[in-house]
Chain A
Amino acid sequence: MAEATHQNPSLRHSWQVQMRVLGALLLRETLTRYGRHNIGFLWLFAEPMIFTLGVTALWTATKSVHGSDLPIVAFALTGYSSVLLWRNMPGRCIGALWGNLALLYHRNIRVLDIYIARVLLEFGGATMSFATLGLLFVTFGILDPPQDVLQVICAWLLIAGFGSSLAILMGALSHESELVDKLWHPASYLMFPLSGAAFMVAALPPAAQDIVYYIPTVHGTEMLREGWFGERARAVYDLSYMIPVIAVLAFLAMVKVRQVASRVVPE
Chain B
Amino acid sequence: MIELNNIHKVYQTRFGRNHVLKGVSFRLEKGEKLGILGRNGAGKSTLVRLVSGAELPNAGTIDRDMSVSWPLAFGGAFQHMLTGVDNIRFISRIYNQDSERNLAFVEDFAELGPYLKEPVRSYSSGMKARLAFAISMIIEFDCFLIDEIASVGDARFHDKCNFELFEKRADRAMIIISHNAAYIRDHCTRWAVLNEGHLELYDEFEIAYADFKELIGWKPPPGWPFVEPATS
Contact = CB atoms under 8 A, between A and B. Distances in A.
A10 to B, nearest CB: 15
Contact of A266 (B49, B68, B139, B141): B49
B97 A2 contact: yes
Given A4-B139, A266-B49, A109 B94 contact: yes
Interface in B33-69: 49, 52-56, 65, 67-69
Nearest to A35: B81
A105 interface: yes
Contact of B70 (A7, A20, A105, A265): A105
A101 B67 CA distance: 21
Given A2-B140, A102-B77, A266-B55, A31 B65 contact: no
Nearest to A28: B90
B82 A4 contact: no
A27 B67 contact: no
Interface in A42-92: none
B96 A105 contact: no
Interface in A220-267: 261-267
A27 B11 contact: no
Contacts of B74: 102, 105
Contacts of A101: 76
Interface string B69-91: 11100101111011000100011
Contacts of A106: 70, 77, 91, 94-95
A32 B81 contact: yes
Nearest to A261: B56
B56 A262 contact: yes
B11 A265 contact: yes
Interface string A79-123: 000000000000000000000011111111100000000000000
Given A28-B82, A266-B49, A108 B94 contact: yes
B93 interface: yes
B95 to A, nearest CB: 6
Interface residues of B, number: 32
A31 B140 contact: no
A24 interface: yes
Contacts of A263: 56
Contacts of A40: none
A203 B179 CA distance: 73
Nearest to B139: A4
A267 B93 CA distance: 23
A187 interface: no
Given A1-B97, A20-B96, A105 B81 contact: no
Contact of B77 (A17, A35, A103, A265): A103
Contact of A105 (B77, B82, B90): B77
B93 A104 contact: no
A21 interface: yes
Contacts of A27: 90, 93
A102 B70 CA distance: 10
A23 B140 contact: no
Contact of B82 (A1, A2, A21, A32): A32
A105 B138 CA distance: 15
A196 B78 CA distance: 42
A3 interface: yes
Contacts of B56: 261-263
A108 B93 CA distance: 11
Contact of A24 (B67, B82, B93): B93
A31 B55 contact: no
B94 A1 contact: no
Given A24-B93, A105-B77, 15 more contacts: A1-B97, A1-B139, A2-B97, A2-B139, A4-B139, A4-B141, A24-B90, A102-B77, A102-B78, A104-B54, A106-B91, A106-B94, A107-B52, A108-B95, A265-B11
Interface of A: 1-5, 7, 17, 20-21, 23-24, 27-28, 31-32, 35, 101-109, 261-267
Nearest 7 CB-CB pairings of A with B: A105-B70, A24-B93, A102-B76, A4-B67, A102-B77, A5-B67, A1-B140
13 contacts: A2-B96, A4-B141, A20-B96, A21-B94, A24-B90, A24-B93, A28-B86, A101-B76, A105-B70, A107-B54, A261-B56, A262-B56, A266-B55
